[in-house]
Amino acid sequence: MSIRSKATAAVATAAAMTLFAGTALAAAPGAPGAGDPYYPTAGNGGYDVSHYDIRLNYQPGADRLWGTTTILAKATEDLTQFNLDFLLKVKTLRVNNAPATFSQADGELTVTPKGGLRKNADVTIVVTYDDVPGQVKDAAGFTAWTKTVDGALGIGEPQIASWWFPSNDHPTDKATYDVSVAVPDGTEVLSNGRFVGNTRLINGWTRWNWRSTKPQASYLTFINIGQFEIRQSTAPNGQPVLNAYSERLGENRDAAIASIERTSEVIEFEESVFGPYPFEAQGGIGTNDLGYALENQTRPNYDTAFFRRGANTYVVAHELGHQWFGDSVSTHHWRDIWLNEGFASYAEFLWSEHIGEGTAQENADFTYDLYPADSPFWQVVIGDPGSGNEFNGAVYDRGALTLHALRVAVGDDKFFGILKAWTAKKRYSDATIEEFIATAEEVSGQQLDELFQTWLFTKGKPAEAPGRASVGIASAGVTAKAAEPKSRQKIALTHEVLAAHDH
Ligand SMILES: [Zn+2]
């Protein structure tokens, strides 16, 4: 800071203090939640985070995690206190250099900064902590952190951050990140964005440094610690690619590599249908102990189970599809989950068509026929599936069918025009289903309320399979079913494993 700006800051502080004294009654505690009906205590009110600097140490085996997270934020209202979402035991906490009083209960870290905070004030929050995250449960008795035989997974949706860094834990408050974790030599630490090198420490430990320069949601920020083989290369567009493979993938190892190494090719294809790739780096991780896959920004994590029947590029197309739908354009509330899962599932149909394993139409026909009208599948209202039901299989399959119905209704040019307009307009932000419907109507010039009402908000099997040219020969009351596309087995496996992700 220059002397001149120091002087200005001093004047500004004096002015703020005077103002604060005069309007003390207007200041109030920040809300303990971001207003999400599914998760009322997720996120918080009263401030906006711009950056997290997470600097930790991790001891595998003991599962001990300790260090410091520094949060840069701005107050969005006059505050007497504010909350962070955090479950680990806090040792010290400072706000703008001054020790602040704090308390912890049910995942809420309530902070009372000395003298309060004025609206628009820059705030620096420094939290030090030390705990064993695998032993820490949230109010529902759940632990999202996974201790493994060689490290740990800090990977989860909708919540994981509270098990490793304090945050405003909701996709509506994105930030940039520096993640730096020291571990004993010979262990790898993986995270999002660009790998900015590791440093050998004198105590037999190595510090791993990662940087995310684009806005990133807290749940998409991850660490995966263990024994990994790392492969680095450069994508055709010049971006750094870093993939990693657990040394415990066993017989699935080669199939995982044969799938994840195609990341840049899949991104190149998806750019042609979704618009420019929104991030600064590429990659993927083949891992154990996760049980599903998660679209962590720039570097999804894929469980080994996706590769148990050989290479599977559909799960790669799905998780990379999320980079546009979910990561760059996030859900405003978790009820908007169709904007993530429906679109990532449709990415699989598009990829199937691209590589000649069945057109999107064939996949849509087959999916529509797969579930009889009386199946509970059709009873899920995918436009508002309910808390804890965001990852129901219907959100994926009916979600993809909804997009196919839109495509058939408006035609290819307008359909892909809608997708590209959406990813450009809402880039690095968050959005609601209603905003998507408005964009679809605006770009297509068509009234689409009925289509979305039927597919997103009405229980029951829609009467017609979208775009089906002919249902074949109906004889003796039996309608011919759509033939199975070549891609179906892998898509089915992908959704089967993804659906195991239920919390
Ligand atoms: Zn997904």
The ranges of the chain with pLDDT < 50 are: 1-24, 471-478, 502-503
Ligand 1 centroid to Cα of residue 320, in Å, is: 9
Ligand 1 centroid to Cα of residue 300, in Å, is: 10
pLDDT digits (tens, 9 = 90+) for 317-334: 999 999 999 999 999 999
- Look at residue 415 and tell me if it is in a domain: yes
Helices 338-354 and 393-410: crossing angle in degrees, nearest 10, is: 70
Ligand 1 centroid to Cα of residue 309, in Å, is: 20
For residues 503 and 501, give the distance between their C-alpha atoms in angstroms, rounded to a whole number: 7
The CATH number linked to 373 is 1.10.390.10
- Look at residue 72 and tell me if it is in a domain: no
Compute and round to an integer the Cα radius of gyration of the chain.
Answer: 24
Number of other residues whose CB lies within 10 A of the CB of residue 454: 15
For residues 195 and 192, give the distance between their C-alpha atoms in angstroms, rounded to a whole number: 8
- Look at residue 432 and tell me if it is in a domain: yes
Ligand 1 centroid to Cα of residue 312, in Å, is: 15
Given this model, what pLDDT does residue 501 score?
63
The number of folded domains in the chain is 1
Given this model, what pLDDT does residue 496 score?
86
CA distances from 356 to 222, 232, 362, 468 (A): 34, 29, 11, 19
Q: Determine the structural domain holding residue 408 and report its residue range.
A: 334-485
Given this model, what pLDDT does residue 469 score?
73
| DSSP per position, 122-143 | EEEEEEEEEE-GGG---TTS--
Ligand 1 centroid to Cα of residue 335, in Å, is: 14
- Look at residue 388 and tell me if it is in a domain: yes
Given this model, what pLDDT does residue 470 score?
54
Ligand 1 centroid to Cα of residue 119, in Å, is: 37
- Look at residue 481 and tell me if it is in a domain: yes
Ligand 1 centroid to Cα of residue 326, in Å, is: 8
Ligand 1 centroid to Cα of residue 343, in Å, is: 8
Given this model, what pLDDT does residue 479 score?
57
Given this model, what pLDDT does residue 502 score?
46
- Look at residue 378 and tell me if it is in a domain: yes
Given this model, what pLDDT does residue 277 score?
98
- Look at residue 342 and tell me if it is in a domain: yes
- Look at residue 426 and tell me if it is in a domain: yes
Ligand 1 centroid to Cα of residue 313, in Å, is: 14
Judge contact between 122 and 72, C-beta under 8 A.
yes
Ligand 1 centroid to Cα of residue 16, in Å, is: 46
Given this model, what pLDDT does residue 5 score?
42
For residues 293 and 323, give the distance between their C-alpha atoms in angstroms, rounded to a whole number: 13
Given this model, what pLDDT does residue 339 score?
98
